[in-house]
């Protein structure tokens, strides 16, 4: 346990004997009991301090209600302001401190350990003298900080602290040590006539190496919409790169978060297969062995089991659905304010074919996290399947724009083609199904829908070839006949499919 008189973390300093907390050199008003909670969490060296233990430490020998502890934790978080996420709730157990406090001696003499997944968004720089463009750059910085702060796994330095580094430091390693972060996001923007170009780069602060860089261009006609679009695309791309960077780091004893990140990396790395799903499930199950009450691991496992059923790759459909439903309910009960909990519930409702309820959950996900790419796309698909076909295409367009290299992009292409097909716009549907097939040639659906579409255009040989490919890939016989396909699949408002998909399959040679 650390018992040094002075400790620092980020922009804060704790003075034990004086019982004072300072932020950026200025005293912060914090009550006595909230201060005791802060010390107890810091002294736990990153471990979880249970609620009963905290109550014994803060109210020794006194019987108090648990809501008194919640009040004091809230007061402490209020005192920490934008860094309130340093005090983390561990569902069903207690609290832990996510920062890395340092004594003054250790700060001078050693390289400070940093939290595993932590970042600072440095103020983006305008490369022109136009004051409006600097406001635009500051808006991107603030929006990115806010968007990244929604991640339960990521500690993000507050914007006030980040803006103190508007003059970019020459030594990124020292910056990482000062702020206690592993990653730095830096960027700039330049106006070129009616276009704005934004460059962003992710840097590993420990090694001072560039991990990722991307360029974003947009029209200045609507600066607010452009700012939203750019920040969403950076946040989505960054999420992927942080996962990939983290799993490359050697770990002697993986914790629950390590397994969660490995499971996510399997999802991000390739198109879905039975083996890939099995790998994801195994990682999330390992996370739950280490932390049985983790709402994040519960929700991710529920989501993966549901997706495995939806993709027709489950070896035990009813078992997977029942397990997913139980896990999603647990995650939602433990962390109802988390978008992932609602997403898991939405996926279970979707696999249960309760689309109206699923739509409400997906909408809740996007209200909590506007950058959730697949929630954006699948919300459009669910509306398509309930008859609101034209709402599907804008949703897929937004998903493709936010995440142009998404591992699920074939699905976004496919759903766009489906919307066109169900509106009998066959010539518009075909290119999208072909793009879906190119992005994931191992899934049966693009081949099946191409078979129907080619046949509707009179291209029967191509249609028959695609139908045979769909039969080979499905492995479950669903494409043997129209009757079997209807029994095994889900087609929402079925009459929408009768004159298009099913009619095309019949022309391709599928018997009733």
Cα dist. 470→36, 307, 447, 449, 464 in Å? 64, 19, 5, 9, 10
Residue 107 has pLDDT above 60, yes or no: no
Range from 172-176, 266-270, 476-480 carrying the lowest mean pLDDT: 266-270
Task: Give the pLDDT score at 2.
Answer: 42
Cα(30)–Cα(36) distance, rounded to whole angstroms? 10
Mean pLDDT confidence for 333-337: 88
| Contact indicator for 377, 396 with CB cutoff of 8 Å | yes
What digits encode the pLDDT tens for the residues 18-54?
677 888 777 788 887 888 888 888 888 778 888 888 8
Tokens coding 48: 């979880």
| 179 and 65 both lie in a single domain | no
| DSSP three-state, residue 405 | coil
Task: Give the pLDDT score at 246.
Answer: 83
| 234 and 122 both lie in a single domain | yes
Neighbours of 12 (CB within 10 A): 21
What total of structural domains would you count in the chain?
2
What digits encode the pLDDT tens for the residues 377-413?
999 999 999 999 999 999 999 999 998 888 889 999 9
Give the domain CATH number at 210: 3.40.50.10610
* Averaged confidence pLDDT in the chain: 87
DSSP symbols for 189-251:
EEEETTEEEEEEEEEETTTTEEEEEEEEEEEGGGHHHHHHHHHHHHHHHHHHHHHHHHHTS--
Give the domain CATH number at 56: 1.10.10.10
| 169 and 209 both lie in a single domain | yes
Burial bucket for residue 248 (CB in 10 Å: 0-12, 13-18, 19+): exposed
Residue 108 has pLDDT above 50, yes or no: no
Percent of the chain with pLDDT over 70: 94
Task: Give the pLDDT score at 112.
Answer: 41
What digits encode the pLDDT tens for the residues 127-141?
877 777 788 888 889
Cα(381)–Cα(384) distance, rounded to whole angstroms? 5
Half-sphere exposure (CA, 13 Å, Cβ side) for 213? Answer: 5
Residue 171 located in a structural domain: yes
Of 204, 231, 246, the position where a domain reaches its end is 246
| 123 and 237 both lie in a single domain | yes
| DSSP three-state, residue 155 | strand
Of 76, 105, 134, the position where a domain reaches its end is 105
Range from 107-116, 316-325, 411-420 carrying the lowest mean pLDDT: 107-116
Of the candidates 346, 414, 407, 333, the residue with the CA atom closest to the CA atom of residue 382:
346
| 67 and 146 both lie in a single domain | no
Task: Give the pLDDT score at 307.
Answer: 93
| 96 and 190 both lie in a single domain | no
Task: Give the pLDDT score at 206.
Answer: 85
> Beta partners for 185?
121, 202
Residue 106 has pLDDT above 50, yes or no: no
| 124 and 240 both lie in a single domain | yes
Residue 31 located in a structural domain: yes
| 122 and 101 both lie in a single domain | no
Residue 260 located in a structural domain: no
| 123 and 235 both lie in a single domain | yes
Residue 185 located in a structural domain: yes
Tokens coding 471: 């039969």
Mean pLDDT confidence for 235-260: 84
What digits encode the pLDDT tens for the residues 69-85?
888 888 888 888 878 88
Tokens coding 364: 């809740």
Mean pLDDT confidence for 271-292: 90
Task: Give the pLDDT score at 1.
Answer: 38
Residue 437 located in a structural domain: no
Range from 246-255, 338-347, 490-499 carrying the lowest mean pLDDT: 246-255
Lookup result for tokens 């390693």: 173
Residue 78 located in a structural domain: yes
Of 212, 246, 280, the position where a domain reaches its end is 246
| Contact indicator for 154, 246 with CB cutoff of 8 Å | no
Cα dist. 154→2, 256, 294, 305, 316 in Å? 24, 14, 15, 25, 34
Handedness of CA 142, 148, 152, 154 (dihedral sign): negative
| Contact indicator for 187, 198 with CB cutoff of 8 Å | yes
| 128 and 226 both lie in a single domain | yes
- 97 vs 103, higher pLDDT: 97
Cα(320)–Cα(315) distance, rounded to whole angstroms? 9
Neighbours of 308 (CB within 10 A): 25
Residue 200 located in a structural domain: yes
Q: How confident is residue 269, by pLDDT bands cut at 50, 70 and 90?
A: low
- 111 vs 100, higher pLDDT: 100
Cα(150)–Cα(161) distance, rounded to whole angstroms? 18
Lookup result for tokens 């736990």: 44
| 101 and 122 both lie in a single domain | no
| 18 and 93 both lie in a single domain | yes
Task: Give the pLDDT score at 105.
Answer: 43
What digits encode the pLDDT tens for the residues 434-468?
999 999 998 899 999 999 999 999 999 999 999 99
Residue 65 located in a structural domain: yes
Give the range of the structural domain holding residue 88, as residue numbers without chain letter: 6-105
């Amino acid at each position: 346990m650390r018992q040094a008189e002075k400790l620092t973390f980020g922009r804060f300093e704790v003075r034990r004997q004086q019982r004072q907390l300072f932020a950026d050199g200025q005293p912060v008003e914090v009550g006595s009991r909230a201060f005791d909670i802060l010390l107890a969490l810091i002294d736990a060296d990153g471990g979880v301090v249970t609620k009963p233990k905290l109550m014994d430490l803060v109210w020794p020998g006194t019987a108090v209600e648990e809501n008194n502890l919640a009040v004091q934790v809230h007061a402490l978080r209020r005192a920490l302001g934008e860094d309130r996420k340093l005090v983390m709730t561990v569902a069903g157990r207690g609290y832990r401190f996510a920062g890395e406090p340092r004594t003054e001696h250790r700060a001078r003499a050693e390289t400070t350990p940093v939290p595993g997944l932590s970042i600072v968004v440095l103020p983006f720089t305008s490369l022109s003298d136009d004051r409006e463009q600097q406001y635009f750059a500051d808006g991107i910085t603030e929006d990115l900080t806010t968007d990244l702060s929604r991640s339960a796994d990521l500690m993000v330095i507050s914007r006030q602290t980040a803006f103190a580094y508007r003059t970019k430091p020459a030594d990124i390693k020292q910056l990482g040590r000062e702020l206690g972060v592993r990653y730095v996001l830096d960027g700039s923007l330049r106006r070129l006539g009616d276009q704005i170009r934004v460059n962003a780069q992710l840097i590993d602060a420990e090694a001072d190496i560039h991990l990722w860089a991307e360029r974003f261009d947009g029209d200045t006609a609507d600066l607010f919409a452009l700012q939203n679009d750019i920040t969403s695309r950076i946040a989505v791309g960054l999420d992927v790169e942080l996962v990939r960077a983290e799993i490359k780091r050697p770990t002697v004893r993986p914790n629950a978060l390590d397994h969660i990140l490995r499971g996510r990396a399997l999802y991000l790395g390739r198109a879905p297969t039975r083996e890939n799903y099995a790998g994801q499930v195994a990682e999330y199950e390992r996370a739950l062995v280490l932390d049985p009450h983790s709402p994040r691991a519960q929700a991710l496992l529920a989501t993966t089991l549901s997706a495995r059923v939806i993709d027709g790759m489950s070896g035990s459909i009813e078992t997977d659905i029942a397990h997913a439903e139980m896990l999603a309910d647990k995650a939602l009960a433990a962390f109802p304010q988390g978008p992932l909990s609602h997403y898991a519930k939405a996926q279970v409702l979707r696999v249960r074919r309760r689309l109206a309820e699923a739509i409400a959950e997906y909408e809740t996900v996007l209200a909590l996290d506007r950058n959730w790419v697949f929630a954006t796309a699948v919300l459009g698909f669910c509306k398509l399947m309930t008859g609101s076909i034209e709402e599907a295409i804008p949703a897929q367009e937004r998903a493709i724009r936010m995440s142009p290299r998404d591992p699920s992009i074939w699905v976004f292409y496919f759903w766009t083609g489906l919307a066109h097909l169900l509106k009998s716009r066959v010539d518009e549907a075909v290119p999208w199904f072909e793009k879906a097939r190119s992005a994931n040639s191992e899934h049966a659906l693009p081949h099946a829908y191409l078979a129907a579409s080619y046949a509707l255009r009179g291209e029967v040989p191509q249609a028959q070839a695609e139908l045979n490919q769909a039969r080979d890939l499905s492995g479950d016989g669903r494409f043997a006949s129209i009757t079997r396909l209807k029994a095994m699949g889900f087609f929402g408002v079925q009459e929408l499919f009768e004159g298009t998909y099913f009619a095309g399959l019949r022309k391709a040679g599928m018997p009733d």
